[in-house]
Chain A
Protein backbone atom coordinates (compact mmCIF):
# COMPACT_ATOMS: atom_id res chain seq x y z
CA UNK A 1 0.00 0.00 0.00
CA UNK A 2 1.50 3.27 -1.04
CA UNK A 3 0.07 6.50 0.13
CA UNK A 4 0.41 9.56 -2.00
CA UNK A 5 2.47 11.69 0.35
CA UNK A 6 5.59 9.52 0.68
CA UNK A 7 5.64 8.89 -3.05
CA UNK A 8 5.67 12.61 -3.66
CA UNK A 9 8.45 13.10 -1.15
CA UNK A 10 10.48 10.36 -2.74
CA UNK A 11 10.19 11.95 -6.15
CA UNK A 12 11.25 15.27 -4.76
CA UNK A 13 14.33 13.68 -3.23
CA UNK A 14 15.21 12.12 -6.52
CA UNK A 15 17.34 14.68 -8.30
CA UNK A 16 18.94 12.88 -11.18
CA UNK A 17 20.91 14.99 -13.68
CA UNK A 18 18.29 14.71 -16.41
CA UNK A 19 15.15 14.93 -14.33
CA UNK A 20 15.50 18.36 -12.79
CA UNK A 21 12.06 19.44 -11.63
CA UNK A 22 10.94 23.03 -11.60
CA UNK A 23 8.66 22.25 -8.66
CA UNK A 24 11.56 21.23 -6.41
CA UNK A 25 11.16 24.28 -4.21
CA UNK A 26 11.07 22.18 -1.06
CA UNK A 27 14.12 20.07 -1.72
CA UNK A 28 15.75 18.86 1.50
CA UNK A 29 19.02 20.07 -0.04
CA UNK A 30 18.39 23.79 -0.41
CA UNK A 31 20.82 25.90 -2.37
CA UNK A 32 20.93 28.49 0.38
CA UNK A 33 23.13 26.06 2.37
CA UNK A 34 25.86 27.04 -0.07
CA UNK A 35 25.43 30.74 0.51
CA UNK A 36 27.30 31.55 3.77
CA UNK A 37 30.39 29.49 2.92
CA UNK A 38 30.23 30.46 -0.71
CA UNK A 39 29.99 34.14 0.13
CA UNK A 40 33.13 34.11 2.29
CA UNK A 41 34.98 32.03 -0.31
CA UNK A 42 33.90 34.35 -3.10
CA UNK A 43 34.67 37.64 -1.37
CA UNK A 44 38.00 36.69 0.18
CA UNK A 45 39.33 34.22 -2.38
CA UNK A 46 37.67 34.42 -5.80
CA UNK A 47 37.28 38.19 -6.01
CA UNK A 48 40.96 38.87 -5.16
CA UNK A 49 42.02 36.13 -7.59
CA UNK A 50 40.08 37.74 -10.43
CA UNK A 51 41.02 41.30 -9.47
CA UNK A 52 44.67 40.24 -9.51
CA UNK A 53 44.59 40.18 -13.31
CA UNK A 54 43.52 43.80 -13.41
CA UNK A 55 45.79 45.09 -10.64
CA UNK A 56 48.79 43.39 -12.21
CA UNK A 57 48.36 45.80 -15.11
CA UNK A 58 48.54 48.89 -12.92
CA UNK A 59 50.97 50.97 -10.93
CA UNK A 60 49.19 50.68 -7.67
CA UNK A 61 49.39 52.17 -4.17
CA UNK A 62 46.28 50.46 -2.76
CA UNK A 63 44.48 53.85 -2.84
CA UNK A 64 45.29 54.88 -6.31
CA UNK A 65 45.92 52.95 -9.45
CA UNK A 66 47.20 53.87 -12.85
CA UNK A 67 46.78 51.54 -15.80
CA UNK A 68 50.17 50.76 -17.34
CA UNK A 69 49.43 47.70 -19.44
CA UNK A 70 51.99 44.94 -19.43
CA UNK A 71 54.82 47.03 -17.95
CA UNK A 72 54.93 45.04 -14.73
CA UNK A 73 55.36 41.81 -16.65
CA UNK A 74 58.03 43.32 -18.87
CA UNK A 75 59.89 44.49 -15.78
CA UNK A 76 59.44 41.11 -14.15
CA UNK A 77 61.01 39.18 -17.01
CA UNK A 78 63.71 41.78 -17.67
CA UNK A 79 65.16 41.86 -14.17
CA UNK A 80 67.17 38.70 -13.59
CA UNK A 81 66.65 38.98 -9.82
CA UNK A 82 62.90 38.65 -10.37
CA UNK A 83 62.81 36.25 -13.29
CA UNK A 84 65.19 33.81 -11.60
CA UNK A 85 62.50 33.35 -8.95
CA UNK A 86 60.38 31.64 -11.58
CA UNK A 87 63.12 29.18 -12.43
CA UNK A 88 63.89 28.52 -8.74
CA UNK A 89 60.22 27.80 -8.11
CA UNK A 90 60.21 25.12 -10.81
CA UNK A 91 63.45 23.57 -9.54
CA UNK A 92 62.25 23.67 -5.94
CA UNK A 93 58.88 22.09 -6.72
CA UNK A 94 60.46 19.40 -8.91
CA UNK A 95 63.16 18.47 -6.39
CA UNK A 96 60.87 18.37 -3.34
CA UNK A 97 58.11 16.54 -5.14
CA UNK A 98 60.48 14.02 -6.75
CA UNK A 99 62.22 13.22 -3.47
CA UNK A 100 58.92 12.99 -1.60
CA UNK A 101 57.60 10.49 -4.17
CA UNK A 102 60.68 8.27 -3.97
CA UNK A 103 61.20 8.50 -0.20
CA UNK A 104 57.49 8.31 0.58
CA UNK A 105 57.22 5.14 -1.49
CA UNK A 106 60.33 3.58 0.06
CA UNK A 107 59.26 4.39 3.62
CA UNK A 108 55.72 3.20 2.96
CA UNK A 109 56.99 -0.16 1.63
CA UNK A 110 59.23 -0.44 4.67
CA UNK A 111 56.46 0.47 7.11
CA UNK A 112 53.88 -1.87 5.62
CA UNK A 113 56.37 -4.74 5.45
CA UNK A 114 57.48 -7.28 8.04
CA UNK A 115 59.30 -5.02 10.46
CA UNK A 116 59.38 -4.31 14.18
CA UNK A 117 58.65 -0.89 15.66
CA UNK A 118 56.24 0.10 12.88
CA UNK A 119 53.97 2.19 15.10
CA UNK A 120 56.93 4.10 16.50
CA UNK A 121 58.35 4.85 13.07
CA UNK A 122 55.00 5.88 11.58
CA UNK A 123 54.44 8.40 14.37
CA UNK A 124 57.97 9.72 14.32
CA UNK A 125 58.01 10.24 10.54
CA UNK A 126 54.65 12.03 10.58
CA UNK A 127 55.44 14.25 13.53
CA UNK A 128 57.38 16.98 11.63
CA UNK A 129 54.36 17.49 9.36
CA UNK A 130 52.54 19.04 12.31
CA UNK A 131 55.30 21.22 13.66
CA UNK A 132 55.52 24.89 12.78
CA UNK A 133 57.33 25.34 9.49
CA UNK A 134 58.97 28.51 10.79
CA UNK A 135 60.22 26.59 13.83
CA UNK A 136 61.60 23.85 11.61
CA UNK A 137 63.24 26.40 9.33
CA UNK A 138 64.94 28.29 12.16
CA UNK A 139 66.08 25.03 13.77
CA UNK A 140 67.67 23.76 10.57
CA UNK A 141 69.21 27.14 9.95
CA UNK A 142 71.19 26.48 13.13
CA UNK A 143 71.82 22.79 12.39
CA UNK A 144 73.12 23.73 8.94
CA UNK A 145 75.65 26.30 10.16
CA UNK A 146 78.71 25.79 7.91
CA UNK A 147 81.28 25.26 10.67
CA UNK A 148 79.50 25.00 14.03
CA UNK A 149 76.37 23.24 12.81
CA UNK A 150 75.55 19.73 14.04
CA UNK A 151 75.10 18.37 10.52
CA UNK A 152 78.56 19.33 9.27
CA UNK A 153 80.21 18.29 12.53
CA UNK A 154 78.58 14.88 12.21
CA UNK A 155 79.73 14.64 8.59
CA UNK A 156 83.26 15.57 9.71
CA UNK A 157 83.27 12.57 12.02
CA UNK A 158 82.85 10.23 9.09
CA UNK A 159 85.37 12.16 7.01
CA UNK A 160 83.05 14.14 4.75
CA UNK A 161 83.37 17.89 4.43
CA UNK A 162 79.81 19.11 4.20
CA UNK A 163 78.86 22.05 1.99
CA UNK A 164 78.18 25.48 3.45
CA UNK A 165 74.46 24.72 2.98
CA UNK A 166 72.51 27.97 3.28
CA UNK A 167 75.51 30.24 2.80
CA UNK A 168 76.74 28.74 -0.47
CA UNK A 169 74.79 30.24 -3.40
CA UNK A 170 74.92 26.92 -5.26
CA UNK A 171 73.47 25.03 -2.31
CA UNK A 172 71.02 27.44 -0.66
CA UNK A 173 67.92 26.51 -2.65
CA UNK A 174 68.71 22.82 -2.48
CA UNK A 175 69.33 22.99 1.27
CA UNK A 176 65.89 24.47 1.85
CA UNK A 177 64.39 21.83 -0.44
CA UNK A 178 66.03 19.06 1.61
CA UNK A 179 64.55 20.44 4.83
CA UNK A 180 61.17 20.62 3.08
CA UNK A 181 61.52 16.93 2.22
CA UNK A 182 62.51 16.15 5.81
CA UNK A 183 59.35 17.87 7.00
CA UNK A 184 56.94 16.61 4.35
CA UNK A 185 58.09 13.05 3.64
CA UNK A 186 55.86 11.79 6.46
CA UNK A 187 52.72 12.98 4.70
CA UNK A 188 53.78 11.31 1.44
CA UNK A 189 54.50 8.14 3.40
CA UNK A 190 51.06 8.12 5.00
CA UNK A 191 49.33 8.58 1.64
CA UNK A 192 51.39 5.79 0.06
CA UNK A 193 50.77 3.52 3.05
CA UNK A 194 47.03 3.95 2.52
CA UNK A 195 47.46 3.06 -1.14
CA UNK A 196 49.53 -0.04 -0.39
CA UNK A 197 47.28 -1.23 2.44
CA UNK A 198 44.25 -1.06 0.15
CA UNK A 199 45.80 -3.57 -2.29
CA UNK A 200 44.18 -6.97 -1.67
CA UNK A 201 46.64 -9.43 -0.14
CA UNK A 202 45.73 -12.11 -2.68
CA UNK A 203 47.62 -10.26 -5.38
CA UNK A 204 50.86 -10.59 -3.44
CA UNK A 205 50.05 -14.24 -2.70
CA UNK A 206 49.36 -14.99 -6.35
CA UNK A 207 52.56 -13.26 -7.46
CA UNK A 208 54.48 -15.26 -4.89
CA UNK A 209 52.96 -18.54 -6.04
CA UNK A 210 53.99 -17.63 -9.57
CA UNK A 211 57.55 -17.33 -8.31
CA UNK A 212 57.93 -13.56 -8.18
CA UNK A 213 60.69 -12.30 -5.88
CA UNK A 214 60.35 -9.24 -3.61
CA UNK A 215 61.56 -6.84 -6.32
CA UNK A 216 59.21 -8.27 -8.92
CA UNK A 217 56.30 -8.12 -6.49
CA UNK A 218 57.11 -4.48 -5.85
CA UNK A 219 57.58 -3.69 -9.55
CA UNK A 220 54.49 -5.48 -10.84
CA UNK A 221 52.01 -5.38 -7.95
CA UNK A 222 52.76 -2.59 -5.47
CA UNK A 223 53.90 0.05 -7.93
CA UNK A 224 51.02 -0.07 -10.46
CA UNK A 225 48.29 -0.65 -7.86
CA UNK A 226 49.34 2.23 -5.61
CA UNK A 227 49.21 4.64 -8.53
CA UNK A 228 46.26 6.70 -7.25
CA UNK A 229 48.23 7.38 -4.07
CA UNK A 230 51.25 8.31 -6.18
CA UNK A 231 49.17 10.77 -8.19
CA UNK A 232 47.96 12.40 -4.97
CA UNK A 233 51.52 12.71 -3.65
CA UNK A 234 52.82 14.20 -6.90
CA UNK A 235 50.03 16.76 -7.30
CA UNK A 236 49.90 17.78 -3.63
CA UNK A 237 53.65 18.19 -3.32
CA UNK A 238 53.97 20.02 -6.66
CA UNK A 239 51.29 22.55 -5.71
CA UNK A 240 52.74 22.87 -2.21
CA UNK A 241 56.27 23.26 -3.55
CA UNK A 242 55.32 25.96 -6.03
CA UNK A 243 53.56 28.00 -3.33
CA UNK A 244 56.25 27.56 -0.67
CA UNK A 245 57.00 30.70 1.26
CA UNK A 246 57.37 30.25 5.01
CA UNK A 247 60.23 27.73 4.99
CA UNK A 248 62.27 29.72 2.49
CA UNK A 249 61.61 32.95 4.34
CA UNK A 250 62.63 31.42 7.67
CA UNK A 251 65.84 29.88 6.34
CA UNK A 252 67.34 32.21 3.73
CA UNK A 253 64.94 35.10 2.99
CA UNK A 254 65.72 34.32 -0.63
CA UNK A 255 69.46 34.73 -0.21
CA UNK A 256 72.38 34.69 -0.53
CA UNK A 257 71.79 37.30 -3.19
CA UNK A 258 68.66 36.09 -4.94
CA UNK A 259 69.82 32.49 -5.27
CA UNK A 260 66.97 30.96 -3.29
CA UNK A 261 64.24 33.44 -4.16
CA UNK A 262 61.04 31.77 -5.33
CA UNK A 263 57.85 33.33 -6.68
CA UNK A 264 56.19 33.55 -3.27
CA UNK A 265 59.17 35.35 -1.73
CA UNK A 266 59.43 37.68 -4.74
CA UNK A 267 55.75 38.54 -4.26
CA UNK A 268 56.36 39.33 -0.60
CA UNK A 269 59.50 41.39 -1.22
CA UNK A 270 57.80 43.51 -3.89
CA UNK A 271 54.82 44.00 -1.59
CA UNK A 272 57.13 45.06 1.23
CA UNK A 273 58.87 47.51 -1.08
CA UNK A 274 55.52 49.06 -1.97
CA UNK A 275 55.38 47.80 -5.59
CA UNK A 276 51.87 46.38 -5.27
CA UNK A 277 51.24 46.10 -8.99
CA UNK A 278 54.51 44.29 -9.58
CA UNK A 279 53.87 42.05 -6.60
CA UNK A 280 50.45 41.14 -7.96
CA UNK A 281 51.97 40.46 -11.38
CA UNK A 282 54.23 37.96 -9.60
CA UNK A 283 51.11 36.35 -8.16
CA UNK A 284 49.57 36.06 -11.61
CA UNK A 285 52.77 34.52 -12.99
CA UNK A 286 52.70 31.99 -10.15
CA UNK A 287 49.05 31.27 -10.87
CA UNK A 288 49.79 30.64 -14.55
CA UNK A 289 52.75 28.45 -13.64
CA UNK A 290 50.59 26.28 -11.37
CA UNK A 291 47.93 25.97 -14.07
CA UNK A 292 50.46 25.15 -16.80
CA UNK A 293 52.06 22.41 -14.72
CA UNK A 294 49.12 20.94 -12.81
CA UNK A 295 46.33 20.92 -15.43
CA UNK A 296 48.20 18.74 -17.96
CA UNK A 297 49.07 16.38 -15.10
CA UNK A 298 45.41 16.09 -14.07
CA UNK A 299 44.48 15.44 -17.68
CA UNK A 300 47.31 12.95 -18.21
CA UNK A 301 46.57 10.91 -15.11
CA UNK A 302 42.81 10.90 -15.68
CA UNK A 303 43.21 9.78 -19.27
CA UNK A 304 45.49 6.93 -18.27
CA UNK A 305 42.95 5.98 -15.63
CA UNK A 306 40.17 5.80 -18.23
CA UNK A 307 42.26 3.77 -20.61
CA UNK A 308 42.70 0.98 -18.11
Chain B
Protein backbone atom coordinates (compact mmCIF):
# COMPACT_ATOMS: atom_id res chain seq x y z
CA UNK B 1 0.00 0.00 0.00
CA UNK B 2 1.13 3.42 -0.90
CA UNK B 3 0.28 4.92 2.47
CA UNK B 4 2.70 2.59 4.24
CA UNK B 5 5.79 3.39 2.23
CA UNK B 6 6.63 6.89 3.44
CA UNK B 7 6.64 7.26 7.21
CA UNK B 8 6.00 10.71 8.55
CA UNK B 9 9.18 11.47 10.48
CA UNK B 10 7.91 14.50 12.40
CA UNK B 11 4.75 12.75 13.50
CA UNK B 12 6.75 9.65 14.46
CA UNK B 13 9.17 11.60 16.61
CA UNK B 14 6.37 13.53 18.29
CA UNK B 15 4.40 10.36 18.96
CA UNK B 16 7.38 8.49 20.39
CA UNK B 17 8.23 11.35 22.75
CA UNK B 18 4.60 11.69 23.83
CA UNK B 19 4.25 7.94 24.47
CA UNK B 20 7.47 7.91 26.46
CA UNK B 21 6.39 10.85 28.62
CA UNK B 22 2.84 9.66 29.24
CA UNK B 23 3.49 5.95 29.73
CA UNK B 24 7.07 5.60 30.91
CA UNK B 25 7.52 8.49 33.36
CA UNK B 26 5.17 7.00 35.97
CA UNK B 27 7.21 3.78 35.88
CA UNK B 28 10.50 5.66 36.04
CA UNK B 29 9.05 7.51 39.03
CA UNK B 30 8.28 4.21 40.78
CA UNK B 31 11.81 2.90 40.27
CA UNK B 32 13.52 6.14 41.31
CA UNK B 33 11.40 6.60 44.43
CA UNK B 34 12.01 2.97 45.41
CA UNK B 35 15.75 3.76 45.44
CA UNK B 36 15.58 6.88 47.62
CA UNK B 37 16.03 7.44 51.31
CA UNK B 38 12.89 8.00 53.31
CA UNK B 39 13.31 11.75 53.76
CA UNK B 40 14.11 12.29 50.11
CA UNK B 41 11.22 10.17 48.91
CA UNK B 42 8.83 12.29 50.98
CA UNK B 43 9.55 15.26 48.68
CA UNK B 44 7.68 13.34 45.91
CA UNK B 45 10.05 14.76 43.31
CA UNK B 46 10.89 13.26 39.96
CA UNK B 47 14.63 13.32 40.44
CA UNK B 48 17.75 11.19 40.62
CA UNK B 49 18.36 9.86 44.16
CA UNK B 50 21.23 11.68 45.86
CA UNK B 51 22.09 8.51 47.73
CA UNK B 52 21.04 5.06 46.59
CA UNK B 53 19.11 3.15 49.22
CA UNK B 54 17.79 0.50 46.85
CA UNK B 55 19.20 -2.55 48.63
CA UNK B 56 18.37 -1.15 52.06
CA UNK B 57 14.76 -0.46 51.01
CA UNK B 58 14.46 -3.92 49.50
CA UNK B 59 15.62 -5.45 52.75
CA UNK B 60 13.28 -3.26 54.81
CA UNK B 61 10.24 -4.10 52.70
CA UNK B 62 10.90 -7.83 52.80
CA UNK B 63 11.51 -7.84 56.54
CA UNK B 64 8.61 -5.56 57.43
CA UNK B 65 6.04 -7.06 59.77
CA UNK B 66 7.78 -10.39 60.20
CA UNK B 67 8.38 -11.11 56.53
CA UNK B 68 4.74 -10.56 55.60
CA UNK B 69 5.72 -9.91 51.98
CA UNK B 70 7.25 -13.37 51.62
CA UNK B 71 4.10 -14.97 52.98
CA UNK B 72 2.06 -12.81 50.61
CA UNK B 73 4.17 -13.86 47.63
CA UNK B 74 3.70 -17.52 48.54
CA UNK B 75 -0.05 -17.04 49.01
CA UNK B 76 -0.46 -15.17 45.72
CA UNK B 77 1.57 -17.75 43.85
CA UNK B 78 -0.51 -20.63 45.20
CA UNK B 79 -3.73 -18.75 44.46
CA UNK B 80 -2.70 -17.86 40.91
CA UNK B 81 -1.23 -21.20 39.87
CA UNK B 82 -4.04 -23.31 41.33
CA UNK B 83 -6.92 -21.17 40.01
CA UNK B 84 -5.47 -20.82 36.53
CA UNK B 85 -4.58 -24.51 36.19
CA UNK B 86 -8.06 -25.65 37.19
CA UNK B 87 -10.00 -23.05 35.24
CA UNK B 88 -8.09 -23.77 32.03
CA UNK B 89 -8.94 -27.48 32.11
CA UNK B 90 -12.56 -27.13 33.25
CA UNK B 91 -13.33 -24.22 30.92
CA UNK B 92 -11.80 -26.04 27.95
CA UNK B 93 -13.91 -29.15 28.65
CA UNK B 94 -17.08 -27.10 28.98
CA UNK B 95 -16.32 -25.01 25.90
CA UNK B 96 -15.65 -28.14 23.87
CA UNK B 97 -19.09 -29.59 24.55
CA UNK B 98 -20.88 -26.24 24.30
CA UNK B 99 -19.24 -25.55 20.95
CA UNK B 100 -19.70 -29.02 19.42
CA UNK B 101 -23.11 -30.02 20.68
CA UNK B 102 -25.82 -27.73 19.40
CA UNK B 103 -29.24 -27.98 20.91
CA UNK B 104 -31.83 -26.34 23.10
CA UNK B 105 -29.76 -27.16 26.17
CA UNK B 106 -26.52 -25.67 24.99
CA UNK B 107 -27.95 -22.43 23.62
CA UNK B 108 -29.55 -21.82 27.00
CA UNK B 109 -26.25 -22.58 28.70
CA UNK B 110 -24.47 -20.13 26.42
CA UNK B 111 -26.71 -17.40 27.80
CA UNK B 112 -25.76 -18.45 31.33
CA UNK B 113 -22.07 -18.19 30.37
CA UNK B 114 -22.65 -14.72 28.94
CA UNK B 115 -24.36 -13.69 32.17
CA UNK B 116 -21.13 -14.53 33.99
CA UNK B 117 -19.41 -11.85 31.94
CA UNK B 118 -22.01 -9.16 32.53
CA UNK B 119 -23.35 -9.64 36.06
CA UNK B 120 -21.35 -8.02 38.87
CA UNK B 121 -20.65 -10.70 41.50
CA UNK B 122 -22.78 -10.45 44.65
CA UNK B 123 -20.05 -10.35 47.25
CA UNK B 124 -21.73 -10.73 50.63
CA UNK B 125 -23.96 -13.63 49.53
CA UNK B 126 -20.76 -15.27 48.24
CA UNK B 127 -19.33 -14.98 51.75
CA UNK B 128 -22.51 -16.63 52.99
CA UNK B 129 -22.04 -19.54 50.56
CA UNK B 130 -18.40 -19.86 51.64
CA UNK B 131 -19.47 -19.98 55.28
CA UNK B 132 -22.14 -22.60 54.60
CA UNK B 133 -19.52 -24.78 52.92
CA UNK B 134 -16.89 -24.09 55.58
CA UNK B 135 -14.60 -22.43 53.05
CA UNK B 136 -14.67 -18.81 54.26
CA UNK B 137 -11.20 -17.46 55.07
CA UNK B 138 -9.53 -20.46 53.46
CA UNK B 139 -7.29 -20.57 50.42
CA UNK B 140 -9.35 -23.32 48.70
CA UNK B 141 -12.44 -21.13 49.10
CA UNK B 142 -10.77 -18.16 47.45
CA UNK B 143 -9.41 -20.38 44.69
CA UNK B 144 -12.90 -21.72 43.93
CA UNK B 145 -14.28 -18.18 43.80
CA UNK B 146 -11.54 -17.05 41.42
CA UNK B 147 -12.28 -20.07 39.21
CA UNK B 148 -15.99 -19.23 39.18
CA UNK B 149 -15.30 -15.60 38.27
CA UNK B 150 -12.86 -16.51 35.50
CA UNK B 151 -15.00 -19.30 34.05
CA UNK B 152 -17.23 -17.27 31.70
CA UNK B 153 -14.41 -15.35 30.07
CA UNK B 154 -12.32 -18.49 29.56
CA UNK B 155 -15.21 -20.54 28.15
CA UNK B 156 -16.00 -17.84 25.61
CA UNK B 157 -12.38 -17.57 24.45
CA UNK B 158 -12.08 -21.37 24.20
CA UNK B 159 -15.36 -21.63 22.28
CA UNK B 160 -14.21 -19.09 19.71
CA UNK B 161 -10.99 -21.03 19.24
CA UNK B 162 -12.50 -24.53 19.20
CA UNK B 163 -14.76 -23.41 16.35
CA UNK B 164 -11.63 -23.38 14.19
CA UNK B 165 -10.63 -26.96 15.12
CA UNK B 166 -12.01 -29.24 12.36
CA UNK B 167 -14.71 -31.71 13.36
CA UNK B 168 -13.16 -34.33 11.08
CA UNK B 169 -10.51 -34.83 13.73
CA UNK B 170 -13.17 -35.81 16.26
CA UNK B 171 -14.67 -38.26 13.81
CA UNK B 172 -11.32 -39.79 12.96
CA UNK B 173 -10.42 -40.21 16.61
CA UNK B 174 -13.82 -41.71 17.41
CA UNK B 175 -13.52 -44.20 14.58
CA UNK B 176 -10.11 -45.13 15.92
CA UNK B 177 -11.84 -46.04 19.14
CA UNK B 178 -11.17 -43.02 21.33
CA UNK B 179 -13.75 -42.34 24.01
CA UNK B 180 -14.80 -38.80 24.89
CA UNK B 181 -12.04 -38.40 27.47
CA UNK B 182 -9.34 -39.70 25.16
CA UNK B 183 -10.66 -37.63 22.27
CA UNK B 184 -10.61 -34.44 24.31
CA UNK B 185 -7.40 -34.79 26.29
CA UNK B 186 -5.25 -36.56 23.69
CA UNK B 187 -6.51 -35.02 20.46
CA UNK B 188 -8.28 -31.71 21.02
CA UNK B 189 -6.65 -30.25 24.14
CA UNK B 190 -3.11 -30.26 22.71
CA UNK B 191 -4.40 -28.37 19.67
CA UNK B 192 -5.65 -25.56 21.91
CA UNK B 193 -2.10 -24.59 22.86
CA UNK B 194 -2.11 -21.05 21.42
CA UNK B 195 -5.30 -20.02 23.20
CA UNK B 196 -4.22 -21.82 26.39
CA UNK B 197 -1.05 -19.72 26.48
CA UNK B 198 -3.11 -16.55 26.08
CA UNK B 199 -5.60 -17.51 28.76
CA UNK B 200 -2.89 -18.61 31.18
CA UNK B 201 -1.03 -15.33 30.82
CA UNK B 202 -4.07 -13.07 30.92
CA UNK B 203 -5.73 -14.87 33.84
CA UNK B 204 -2.48 -15.16 35.81
CA UNK B 205 -1.91 -11.44 35.55
CA UNK B 206 -5.56 -10.79 36.37
CA UNK B 207 -5.71 -13.03 39.44
CA UNK B 208 -2.27 -11.92 40.64
CA UNK B 209 -3.49 -8.32 40.47
CA UNK B 210 -6.90 -9.05 41.97
CA UNK B 211 -7.52 -7.02 45.06
CA UNK B 212 -11.25 -7.17 45.83
CA UNK B 213 -11.66 -10.96 46.09
CA UNK B 214 -8.90 -11.57 48.66
CA UNK B 215 -10.11 -8.49 50.55
CA UNK B 216 -13.61 -9.95 50.88
CA UNK B 217 -13.06 -13.69 50.95
CA UNK B 218 -9.66 -14.17 52.60
CA UNK B 219 -9.28 -11.42 55.17
CA UNK B 220 -6.60 -11.40 57.83
CA UNK B 221 -2.89 -10.62 57.87
CA UNK B 222 -1.74 -14.22 57.91
CA UNK B 223 -3.59 -14.71 54.62
CA UNK B 224 -2.39 -11.52 52.89
CA UNK B 225 -1.90 -11.59 49.14
CA UNK B 226 0.56 -9.27 47.45
CA UNK B 227 -2.02 -6.64 46.49
CA UNK B 228 -3.16 -6.37 50.09
CA UNK B 229 0.41 -5.75 51.28
CA UNK B 230 0.37 -2.52 49.29
CA UNK B 231 -2.41 -1.28 51.52
CA UNK B 232 -0.79 -2.54 54.68
CA UNK B 233 2.26 -0.52 53.76
CA UNK B 234 0.31 2.58 53.03
CA UNK B 235 -1.47 2.38 56.36
CA UNK B 236 1.57 1.64 58.42
CA UNK B 237 4.22 3.85 56.87
CA UNK B 238 2.31 6.94 55.95
CA UNK B 239 5.45 8.78 54.99
CA UNK B 240 7.67 5.92 53.90
CA UNK B 241 7.08 6.40 50.20
CA UNK B 242 10.37 4.69 49.41
CA UNK B 243 9.11 1.44 50.94
CA UNK B 244 5.66 1.74 49.39
CA UNK B 245 7.16 2.18 45.93
CA UNK B 246 9.64 -0.62 46.49
CA UNK B 247 6.66 -2.85 47.28
CA UNK B 248 4.82 -1.68 44.14
CA UNK B 249 7.95 -2.48 42.16
CA UNK B 250 8.32 -5.98 43.63
CA UNK B 251 4.66 -6.81 43.11
CA UNK B 252 4.88 -5.66 39.50
CA UNK B 253 7.88 -7.81 38.62
CA UNK B 254 6.08 -11.15 37.98
CA UNK B 255 3.48 -9.70 35.56
CA UNK B 256 6.25 -7.70 33.91
CA UNK B 257 8.28 -10.85 33.25
CA UNK B 258 5.22 -12.64 31.89
CA UNK B 259 4.46 -9.66 29.69
CA UNK B 260 7.94 -9.63 28.22
CA UNK B 261 7.98 -13.36 27.50
CA UNK B 262 4.50 -13.65 26.04
CA UNK B 263 3.97 -10.15 24.65
CA UNK B 264 2.92 -11.27 21.18
CA UNK B 265 0.56 -14.00 22.32
CA UNK B 266 -1.18 -11.77 24.82
CA UNK B 267 -1.97 -9.06 22.34
CA UNK B 268 -3.02 -11.36 19.52
CA UNK B 269 -5.05 -13.54 21.90
CA UNK B 270 -6.86 -10.58 23.41
CA UNK B 271 -7.62 -9.46 19.90
CA UNK B 272 -9.03 -12.80 18.80
CA UNK B 273 -11.22 -13.09 21.87
CA UNK B 274 -12.49 -9.58 22.24
CA UNK B 275 -13.55 -8.88 18.68
CA UNK B 276 -15.57 -12.05 18.41
CA UNK B 277 -17.16 -11.78 21.84
Residues of chain A touching chain B, judged by Cβ–Cβ distance below 8 Å, are 6, 9-10, 13, 15-17, 20, 27-31, 33-34, 36-38, 40-41, 43-49, 51-52, 55, 60, 62, 110, 113-117, 120-128, 130-136, 138-140, 142-143, 145, 148-150, 153, 182, 187, 190-191, 193-195, 198, 201, 204-205, 208, 228-229, 232, 236, 239, 242-243, 245-246, 249-250, 264, 267-268, 271, 276, 279-280, 283-284, 286-287, 290-291, 294
Q: Decide: A130 and B256 in contact? CB cutoff 8 A.
A: yes
Q: Which of B58-66, B67-75, B190-198, B205-213 lines the interface with chain A?
A: B205-213
B189 CB to nearest A CB, Å: 12
Bound-state CA distance A250–B260 (Å) is 26
CB-contact partner of A40 in B90, B125, B259, B274, under 8 A: B90
Q: Decide: A9 and B174 in contact? CB cutoff 8 A.
A: yes
Interface string of B88-99 (1 = CB under 8 A from A): 001101101110
Max count, chain B CB within 10 A of own CB: residue among A62, A149, A284: A62
Residues of A within 8 A of B9 (CB): 116
Q: Decide: B211 and A133 in contact? CB cutoff 8 A.
A: yes
Q: Decide: B129 and A232 in contact? CB cutoff 8 A.
A: no
Number of chain B residues whose Cβ lies closer than 8 Å to a Cβ of chain A:
112
Q: Decide: B3 and A113 in contact? CB cutoff 8 A.
A: yes
Give the secondary structure class of B's interface: helix
Is the C-beta of B46 less than 8 angstroms from some C-beta in chain A?
A: yes
The A/B interface has a contact count, at CB < 8 Å, of 296
Residues of chain B touching chain A, judged by Cβ–Cβ distance below 8 Å, are 1-9, 11-13, 15-16, 19-20, 22-27, 29-30, 33, 43-46, 87, 90-91, 93-94, 96-98, 100-105, 109, 112, 116-131, 133, 144-145, 147-149, 151-152, 155, 167, 170-171, 173-175, 178-180, 183-184, 205, 208-209, 211-212, 215-216, 226-227, 230-231, 234, 241, 244-245, 248, 251-252, 255-256, 258-259, 263, 266-267, 270-272, 274-275, 277
Check A117/B15 contact, CB under 8 A, given A29-B180, A138-B244: yes
Q: Decide: B170 and A28 in contact? CB cutoff 8 A.
A: yes
Q: Decide: B267 and A27 in contact? CB cutoff 8 A.
A: no
Q: Decide: A120 and B16 in contact? CB cutoff 8 A.
A: yes
Give the secondary structure class of A's interface: helix
A127 CB to nearest B CB, Å: 7
